[in-house]
Structure formats: structure tokens, C-alpha cells
Structure 1
Amino acid sequence: MAWFKRESKGIITTTEEKKEAPDGIWNKCPNCKKPLHYSEQVENQYVCHYCGFHIRIGSKEYFSILFDNNQFTELFTDLTSGDPLHFTDTKKYTDRLTETKKKTGLKDAIRAGVGKMNGQDVVIACMDFNFIGGSMGSVVGEKIARSIDHSITNKIPFLMISKSGGARMMEAAFSLMQMAKTSAKLALLAQAKVPYISLLTDPTTGGVTASYAMLGDINIAEPGALIGFAGPRVIKETIKKDLPKGFQTAEFVQEHGFLDFIVDRREMKEKLASFLKMLAPVTEKEII
């Protein structure tokens, strides 16, 4: 079968002998479709250097970008979701939780940590979309509440990074209760005069948008992020009208007054550190 296989010495030609690049070394920009090498993505903070598209990332990547030298102490690592409603759809909720934990290495759709950002103490809670669509369940609400308590106790600014499809249907009312719970905790944070910055990333939707994501002292977003409550198809069918161009993008939301800033991820750390410095309380010594 020499027609289909070269036999010259030193030439590898059979499919079985070809060595493919390991998974994840190269992938494609979701926007411009150009190939991106993994090392280039990391160096450019997961922003396409061809078109500027912000690739979706999780808590691991955000922590490495924002915390100085990626040094932080993770908070409340023992929290995991229960199954109070014994929910079953195509499969049991407990089975889905087990599978998702194994697949992602996460315990739920949020991680929290405390460390320094440009030398300033900060508590960061970051959602992970890979864990059941970043859905807001009881663990998400509890971790946010405890993170806020940690900020109040230690007078440390709180940064919330939202990335979610909304409330977790498998927990029903227990999930919806987190909207009021986290909003009440943020009211206590405001009373304590501790700064709160909300960063909305792609996508931020549903009950998350309707609660803590929009309650920051400063609300900022990444370019092109999808931000909204209901999906565009549902809205279009409800109002019986075509939606405007760019509807529910960060740029559209900012234009209509719901965001303060849109910040490129590559400038995020410097901008956030600058905001925190401006929001920091002035001491008597500094006044003198």
C-alpha cells in the first residue's frame, strides 16, 4: 500500500504516527476566528490581540490577574450545595452536582478570596460560569454574604465579579431568596462605609443582574459583555417589537445609564486599584 504511505527514511506520514498539539495549546477566538496560542492568551490576559474580544474566563484566571503575584487566602472553602427540594428533572440534582464538581474542580459557582491588589487589601468574590451556568444557588448567596461580613469586620473593600445565567432553578425559592439576602448585606456594607465595586462580565443575567450585580458604589463591565435580566427572545415576544442594535451589550447598558464605566481587562487591575484608592476613607492624619 505504498500509494498511501511514503516509505522514505525519516519521514513520518501515517496518521497514526503524527503527533498532534496537546488540547488547549491552540484555540480559536470566538469573535474573529483567528488562532490564538495559549501562552499569548495568558500574556494578553485572555483578550484577543487581533480584535480585542474578551474571552470568558473563571475565578482562577481573574484571581491571577487581580491579586498581587496571585497571592490570596481563599475564604469559606467548606460550603457545598444541598438538595433541599430533592429536585429531579432529566437527572437528580445531587448527581449533577457531583458530576460538575468532578468536571470543574469547583465546589460551586463562586469562589472568594482576600489578598492585595496593588498593595491594597481587598476581598474578591468571583463567579464561575462553568459550574451549572454560574447559576445563583444558596451557596453563592451564602459565600457573598460571608464575604461582605469579612469586609465589614476588617474594613476591607469588596469586589464582586458576576458571571451568571441567573437563579438556579433546582433550588427554586431558596435561590430567589439569595437576591434579598445579598442586597440586605450590601446595605450593611454601605452603612459601614466600606467600598463595594461590582464588575459585570459576560454574561450577567437574571436574578444576579436584578440584585447584587447592579448595587455597586461603582458598576463597571468588560467590553461587549452580555448584561440583562430576561433573554432578548423573551423580551421581543413580550413587547412585540424588534430590539435595537447592540441590545443588552455593556455598551448599550452604559449608554442608558446603568453602568459607570467599561474597562478593558488589560487595564482592569490598575483601574480597580485607582477606584479603591479614591473610595478609601480619609484619616485625620491625611487631612492635616
Structure 2
Amino acid sequence: MNWINTVVRPKIRSILNRREAPENLWIKCPVTGEMVFHRDLENNQFVVPNSEFHMRLNATQRFGFLFDDGDYSLLELPEASMDPLKFRDTKRYVDRMRDARAKTGKQDSVSVAQGTVEGLLLTAAVQDFTFLGGSLGMAAGEALITGMLRAVEDKTPFVLFTASGGARMQEGILSLMQMPRTTVAVQALREAGLPYILVLTDPTTGGVTASYAMLGDIHLAEPGALIGFAGQRVIEQTIREKLPEGFQRAEYLKEHGMVDMVVHRHDLPSTIARLCRFFTNTDTPEPKEAPVPMADLVEEEPVEAVEEAPVAAQAADPAETVAAEDEPKATDEAAEETSNNKG
């Protein structure tokens, strides 16, 4: 029975006490298949170091990387009707919404916040693709309109990060109605003379692309982002032609004039701040001088005292000095004259 105590029991204990590794400890790069440690990826703003592939971000991560020191305040958004059409497919729409809220911790796909970027106050909205594919519904439309009107009220630039599969089909025509409503809110920004900057992230498609996502004063895009209305497969089946490589990607759209700039995620805050200062004619804030450490302050050595000449000597008459200098010359001339007379 000794082998039970020495072999079997320790194995059973090791199995029972074994801790499973977290599922997201290692993340696979979709481009190269490389396994990247989650913490290293997070420290690099979820950009794979070797392939530079930009992974998708949720609203909390996006705001944290955008605003100074990750400090911002979320705007309170109006509530919308949960399920006005009582929609049901393989699952009730109410249940889908409940699951999405439990998974993401968000009330809907759009979040709006205010904060500073390089000291410049701005209003920003983020579409969260993890919430039902970032789809545009009544609540998302109300959130965007609220954010734009708040920007008009506070006279701040408005920055929108798009990531959506389009209009939310479970809300039918009520979802499609958000396209013209948000367009009217964009017009309010223009009439107020405020910059409206779009950052198109992966993916930006459907009704979002057909409305407010293409109405900005300037359009930025993250590298490799998928941007378009219909999918590539649908287009190929419709026109019966093979589309070029890289079609609907950010770089392709920039070459064809639909995107102004393709900006790396690390450079987005500085680029947005520079554009906002340009559009608002705001000067670049002067960098604050860092305080000098006490260790760098070296005490100066005391200067040795130098004895000064007597005041009487310093106050000598300049005329007397000149006369004294001329005396030797006069004596020499007299001696020379006496010598000549003797001769």
C-alpha cells in the first residue's frame, strides 16, 4: 500500500490543485501566427510588435490611449427603447442585448467622453465592435447626437472612432433612421465652425460608411483597417469581376483619395491634437520646464578676498603722474646740451 501514498495520492493532489492558465495570456497574430504575450501587447497599445498588425480595441482602451494620462469623463447618454419591434430570430433581441451588456459592461455600442489631448479639450466618441458588432441602433444614434451637440455647446472639436458592421437589423427602419439624424448633427458642428475628425478603424462598413463616417473635415485611418459599404465577396458577385489586392483597406483608399491619412496608433493623439490646433487656430502649448533636481545644484566655492590698493594711491593726480614721466626726458636733454657747449 506504500505505492498508493507515494505515487497515486501526490498525482491526484497535483491534478486537483492544478491551476489553468488564463485563456487570453497569449494572443495569436492574425497575420504571422506569432504568439504574443498579452501584457507585452497591451503595453504596445495592442499593436503586434513584429507585424505592426493593429488589433481591435474596446471603448475603454481607446479612451485610455487617447486622452492625456488616460484621464477623461464619460458623458451621460439618454436611454432608448430596448426592443420596440419585439424582434426575434434564433434568439430574442432582448436576450442578445442582455448578453452583450453583460459581456462588455456597456449599455450600447457607442460611448462618449471628454478630456484633454496635449492640453486641448475635446469631445470623443468610440464605437465598440465587441458590442453586437458596433452596430448602429437607436441608442447609438442618440449617443452620437448627444456627443456632437455637447461639443457644440462646449465649443470643442469632435473626434469619432468608427468600428461597425452597419445598421442594426433587429431595429429595422428605426435603425436606418439614425443615418439622417446623425447627418443633421454633423451639420450642427459645421455651422458652429468646429472640427469633425474621423478615425476609421477596423472594420467600418455598411450604413455607418454611408452616413456620418464619410462626412468629416478630415479622415484618418489605422493601418490595414477594412473600410467600405458592401463586402468584397458581394461586390465581386455583383460585378462579376475580381477586385484588386488590398481592396477596401486603408492604404488602398488613401491612394484613391477616400482617406486623407493612414496613421499608426501610437501617433494618433499627437496627430489629432495637431489637426485640432490647426482647425481652431490654437497655438501649441509651450512645454513646461522640468524642475532642476537638488542633487544637480552645486554650491559655488567662496571667492577669496583680494586686498585693494590704498585709497590715497588710487586718488593720485593724473597730472602729477604725467609730469613724473616727462622728467627723465628733460634731464637727458639738458645733459646733451651741456656736452655740446663744452665741445
Q: Is the 8 A contact 1:80 1:107 kept in 2?
A: no
The unaligned stretches of length 5 or more in structure 1 are: 1-5, 284-288
The Cα of 1:204 is off from its aligned counterpart by 0.2
Return the TM-score normalized by structure 2: 0.77
CA deviations over 1:4-34 (Å, ceiling 9, x no partner): xx95xx9999665544432322211122111
SS at match of 2:177: helix
What does residue range 267-278 of structure 1 map to in structure 2 within 5 Å? Answer: 267-278=267-278
CA deviations over 1:65-117 (Å, ceiling 9, x no partner): 00111111111245355211111111211111111111211110110001111
1:274 alignment partner AA: R
Return the TM-score normalized by structure 1: 0.91
Q: Is the 8 A contact 1:12 1:18 kept in 2?
A: no
Q: Is the 8 A contact 1:129 1:164 kept in 2?
A: yes
Q: Is the 8 A contact 1:87 1:170 kept in 2?
A: yes
1:223 alignment partner AA: P
Q: Kindly tell me: are residues 29 and 13 of structure 1, through their superposed partners in 2, closer, same or farther at Cα, counting changes over 3 Å?
A: farther
Between 23-32 and 132-141, the greater mean CA deviation after superposition: 23-32
Count the aligned residue pairs: 277
User: Could you tell me how far apart the structure 2 residues matched to 1:41 and 1:13 are?
Assistant: 35
Q: Is the 8 A contact 1:210 1:229 kept in 2?
A: yes
Q: Kindly tell me: are residues 198 and 156 of structure 1, through their superposed partners in 2, closer, same or farther at Cα, counting changes over 3 Å?
A: same
Counterpart position of 1:241: 241
Q: Kindly tell me: are residues 236 and 13 of structure 1, through their superposed partners in 2, closer, same or farther at Cα, counting changes over 3 Å?
A: farther
| Pair member with larger Rg | 2
User: Could you tell me how far apart the structure 1 residues matched to 2:147 and 2:155 are?
Assistant: 12
Q: Is the 8 A contact 2:160 2:198 kept in 1?
A: yes
More helix by share: 2
Q: Is the 8 A contact 2:183 2:211 kept in 1?
A: yes
SS at match of 1:151: helix
CA deviations over 1:32-79 (Å, ceiling 9, x no partner): 111111221121111000110001111111100001111111112453
Root mean square deviation, CA, Å:
2.0
User: Could you tell me how far apart the structure 1 residues matched to 2:179 and 2:50 are?
Assistant: 38
Q: Is the 8 A contact 1:109 1:140 kept in 2?
A: yes
SS at match of 1:146: helix
SS at match of 1:167: coil
User: Could you tell me how far apart the structure 1 residues matched to 2:281 and 2:172 are?
Assistant: 40
Q: Kindly tell me: are residues 19 and 219 of structure 1, through their superposed partners in 2, closer, same or farther at Cα, counting changes over 3 Å?
A: same
Q: Is the 8 A contact 1:41 1:48 kept in 2?
A: yes
User: Could you tell me how far apart the structure 2 residues matched to 1:74 and 1:232 are?
Assistant: 36
User: Could you tell me how far apart the structure 1 residues matched to 2:12 and 2:37 are?
Assistant: 25
Counterpart position of 1:144: 144
Counterpart position of 1:257: 257
Counterpart position of 2:322: none
Q: Which has the higher contact order (CA 8 A, sep 6+)?
A: 1
What does residue range 48-59 of structure 1 map to in structure 2 within 5 Å? Answer: 48-59=48-59
User: Could you tell me how far apart the structure 2 residues matched to 1:194 and 1:282 are?
Assistant: 12
Q: Kindly tell me: are residues 168 and 35 of structure 1, through their superposed partners in 2, closer, same or farther at Cα, counting changes over 3 Å?
A: same
Q: Please state if 1:232 is matched with 2:245.
A: no
Q: Is the 8 A contact 1:81 1:108 kept in 2?
A: no
